[in-house]
Every structure is written in C-alpha cells, then in structure tokens.
C-alpha cells in the first residue's frame, strides 16, 4: 500500500525534539555568548601574523597552543563556522516559529465586532462633541483619517450612528522579521567567506614575486619605503605592488595603510613592516687563525652571492640568517624565535676553490663555537650585518563580503521599520446627540504609547475646531 502523501510544511515534519532544540532561547543565548567569547580571543590574539610574532608575544608553549588550535586564523576554522551555522539555524527556526502566526493575525487584523461599547474599553481614547451635522461629521472623520495615512474599513452606519475602523503602519510589525533576514544574510556571507575565502600574511622583500593563493596571478613588490615626520616619527609606510599575469605586468599601484590594492576578489593591505629576521643584505666576516686568533682577512658578503675571501683560497656564499637563533630537533629546522636580534647567526657555504667543503652556522655572540672550516688552521667569524626591511602584506579574499553588505543594508531597513514605524489601529464611533454630533476615538499601538496619545489628541482637537457644542 502506497504511503499517504502529506502537504504539511517541511518545518512541521521535522522531529519535534530537533525543532525545539533550535527554537530554544537558551541555545540563542549560549551561541551568542560563545561567538562573543571567541571573538574577544580573535581580537586579543592578532590574526594571520608570522610565527615569530606569536613567539615573541606569548612564548613557545602558548604559541604551540595558538597554532594547533588555529586561534591565529580562527574566523576560517570549522568550529567557528559551526557556531555561525548554528546561530543561523536558530534564527531560521525562530522566524518560522513566529512569522506564520504573525502573518495570519495581520491578514485577519480587522475586528469582527464593533459596537458602541468597543471604544470605551481602550485606554487610549478621546471624545469630542461638535456642532456639525451627523453626515458632515462622518465625512470629516473619513477625510481626517485618510490625511493621517490610515486605511479605512466602514463597519456600517445608520441615521444616528457610524462605525469606522482605521489602521496604518502594518509593515512595522515585520521590522523584526526583516532584521532576522538581514542577520541570516550576514551570517550566510560570513559562512561563504569562511569556506571559500581566506586571510593570509606575506613577508615580501623588494624585487620578490609571490604566488597569490587560489588565483591565477602573482604579485611583485617593486619598492618599499618609509616616510618620516621632521621629528623623526614614522608618518607612513608604502609599497609599490605590480600584478603579474601570464608573465606580463597588468597593474601597478602604490599602497599604504587604509589604501589597499584590490584585484580579482583579493585585497592586499599594507599591514606592517620590519627588519627581516631570516634575511640580511650583507654580512661582515673575517678569517682568523684558530690558535692565534689573529685577523688576517676581512670582507663583506652579500645575500646569495659567492664572494672570495681576499688572500685565501676560500669562497663564501651567504645563504641563511636567524635574528634570534633556535633549533627544532624534531623537524631538524632552524628558525628565529623572535624578530629581535638577540642571538644573530648566519649560515654560509664555504668553498675551497669550486668545491663545497661546509655549510656551517656562525654566531656573532659565540665566535668559534662550531668550526666553519673543518680540519684547517683557519676559521671564519661573524662580525656584523646590514639588515633588510620587509613589507608585511595582509591578503584577504572574502567572496561573501557583498552578501554581508547587502545584509547590513537590509538590517538598517529592519531597524527603521522596528523603531520608527508603529502599527496603529483606530476605532471611531460617531453618533448624534442633542445639539450636535459626538465623536469618540480609541485604539491600540504596538509601541510608543505616548506618540499614539498625542496623535489621538491632535485629531480630536482638529475635529473639535472652533465648533464646540
């Protein structure tokens, strides 16, 4: 026997336990607190910075925790996006929970009954008696309500009584729902950005070209410099960047703080600068005798250039630098613990003629601790260096940013409807009395009761005019 099809909405067919979970106010509070808490962490812990920045600020133990927990790039982690997705589902369920009831009430908002006692039940009411005739007064009431942008519904009238119902600002009731939609768009944009975007940081040296992730072009740093005030304080730091596509320069732009380069969905910000901790322009070395330690030859060697040591058979190439030397035994890698020159060291390749004989690390603070030239009477010492400035670029690809901006725009509309458009319902009872016509106005407003009181008072005075009975 075929199963009977159901036409119930899909949200009604969701198991009640799941539905109640996502409709829970406790869940809303928990997720909001969790998002706020991790966002505070994301503010305290700078995002997408070089490893050395975290080592200098927090030490090795905390840096490992930050890196393994991805707290240095947490807005693109699965657990942060999971919180955002949970909040989005919570908003969707809460909207479906409340919107149909509200919509039905608004469609059927016209009262089913309106008699002479109805207006007397409202706290907001005002009665006036005018000299004008009954028919003239009913016409005046209708014109007055229309002038005040009320839509009218006539419950009927006879020779001595008339019942008029008016309403305005119905759309204001949907301000919260429009705000919910805007929140969903903002969260959706954040999720899109989290899954398909990234934030990255690159240290770039003048003349270097980097591959930009997830796009088909490269970026070259043509020039970096710092502008100073007359007092010596830094005024601005600048980079001239060139976009390279298929080996051709397609765009060149100077960037500085708050003036990024935007190209094919990726923005490049001038984020920071500093002295390189893993590279130098040149280093000063000297050849000494191992026993006498007399210096008999000095020279400056440049980065990645093979340089002969005068009056010797040796050639040296500068291939590595660490501002604050550290060694990881597990990965067998050398790195700089901090950007500061606390324990500077250089790595050189030593050649006898054209033959490579060693690749030692030489320490400025500990000369001779490791022989640079094995089985020889001579040794090489490290005397000083000329640093290199780098440009720190932040790379930001966020395909959801336009959705977020759309959500922000809609949110402004939702706030406007919520706080400035009031849903008002007004009952007007008109009846003949001795010496004239009595008009009683009364009604309800969803917020700002004081505004409604003033409006009713103003309309009553307008009706009364100078024709008091």
Of 129, 133, 132, 135, the closest CA to residue 441 belongs to 129
Q: 327 Cβ partners below 8 Å, 6+ apart?
A: 333, 334, 335
| Rounded Cα gap, residues 106 and 101, in angstroms | 9
The C-alpha atoms of residue 145 and residue 449 are separated, in whole angstroms, by 18
Q: What is the largest CA-CA distance in the chain?
A: 130
**The tokens of 58 are what?**
């927090």
Location of structure tokens 């004081």:
450
Q: Which position has the token pair 């009761």?
A: 449
Q: If DSSP codes are grouped into helix, strand and coil, which group holds residue 216? A: coil
Q: Which two tokens stand for residue 147?
A: 């002038």
Question: What number of other Cβ atoms are within 10 A of residue 365's Cβ?
Answer: 12
Average pLDDT of the residues of the chain:
87
**Could you give the C-alpha distances from 346 to 51, 238, 295, 367, in angstroms and in order?**
20, 29, 19, 12
pLDDT, tens digit, for every residue of 358-373? 999 999 998 878 888 8
> Number of C-alpha atoms within 13 angstroms, CB side, residue 95?
17
Where do we find the tokens 């920071």? 272
The alpha carbon dihedral of 99, 102, 108, 110 has a sign of negative
Q: Which pLDDT score is estimated for 293?
A: 66
**pTM for the whole thing?**
0.62
pLDDT per residue over 194-224, tens digit each?
Answer: 788 888 889 899 999 999 998 999 999 999 9
**Helices 175-196 and 78-107 meet at what angle, rounded to 10?**
160
Q: With 60 as the cut, is the pLDDT of residue 171 above it? A: yes
- Containing 426, the helix (H) or strand (E) segment is strand 424-433
Residue 34 Ramachandran class (φ > 0 left, ψ -120 to 50 alpha, else beta): alpha
76-135 pLDDT, tens digit per residue, is 888 888 888 898 888 888 888 777 777 776 777 778 788 888 898 898 899 999 988 898
Specify the higher pLDDT residue, 339 or 233: 233
Place of tokens 């009262």: 111
Residue 326 to residue 337: CA distance in whole angstroms: 6
């Amino acid at each position: 026997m075929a199963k009977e099809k159901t036409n119930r909405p899909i949200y009604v067919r969701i198991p009640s336990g799941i539905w109640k979970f996502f409709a829970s106010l406790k869940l809303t509070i928990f997720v909001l607190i969790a998002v706020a808490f991790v966002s505070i962490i994301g503010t305290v812990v700078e995002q997408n910075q070089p490893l050395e920045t975290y080592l200098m600020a927090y030490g090795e133990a905390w840096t490992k925790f930050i890196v393994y927990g991805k707290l240095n790039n947490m807005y693109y982690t699965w657990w942060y996006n999971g919180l955002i997705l949970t909040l989005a589902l919570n908003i969707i369920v809460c909207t479906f929970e409340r919107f149909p009831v509200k919509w039905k009430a608004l469609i059927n908002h016209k009262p089913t009954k309106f008699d002479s006692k109805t207006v007397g039940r409202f706290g907001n009411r005002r009665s006036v008696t005018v000299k004008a005739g009954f028919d003239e007064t009913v016409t005046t009431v209708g014109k007055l309500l229309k002038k005040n942008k009320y839509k009218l519904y006539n419950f009927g009238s006879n020779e001595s009584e008339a019942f008029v119902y008016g309403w305005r600002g119905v759309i204001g009731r949907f301000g919260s729902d429009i705000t919910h939609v805007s929140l969903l768009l903002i969260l959706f944009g954040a999720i899109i950005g989290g899954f398909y975007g990234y934030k990255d940081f690159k240290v770039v040296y003048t003349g270097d070209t980097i591959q930009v992730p997830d796009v088909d072009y490269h970026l070259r740093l043509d020039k970096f410099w710092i502008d100073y005030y007359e007092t010596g304080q830094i005024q601005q730091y600048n980079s001239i960047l060139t976009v390279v596509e298929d080996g051709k320069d397609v765009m060149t732009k100077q960037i500085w703080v708050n003036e990024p380069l935007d190209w094919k969905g990726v923005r490049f910000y001038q984020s920071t600068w500093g002295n390189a901790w893993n590279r130098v322009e040149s280093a000063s070395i000297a050849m000494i005798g191992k026993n006498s330690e007399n210096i008999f030859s000095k020279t400056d060697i440049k980065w990645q250039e093979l340089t002969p040591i005068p009056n010797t058979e040796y050639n040296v190439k500068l291939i590595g630098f660490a501002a604050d030397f550290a060694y990881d035994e597990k990965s067998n890698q050398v790195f700089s613990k901090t950007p500061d020159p606390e324990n500077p060291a250089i790595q050189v390749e030593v050649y006898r003629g054209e033959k490579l004989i060693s690749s030692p690390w030489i320490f400025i603070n500990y000369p001779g601790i490791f022989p640079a030239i094995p089985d020889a009477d001579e040794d090489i010492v490290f005397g000083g260096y000329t640093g290199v400035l780098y440009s720190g670029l932040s790379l930001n690809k966020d395909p959801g940013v336009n959705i977020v901006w759309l959500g922000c725009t809609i949110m402004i509309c939702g706030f406007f409807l919520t706080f400035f458009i009031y849903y008002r319902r007004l009952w007007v009872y008109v009846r003949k009395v001795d010496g004239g016509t009595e008009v009683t106005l009364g009604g309800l407003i969803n917020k700002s009761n004081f505004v409604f009181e003033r409006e009713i008072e103003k309309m009553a005075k307008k009706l009364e005019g100078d024709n008091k009975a």
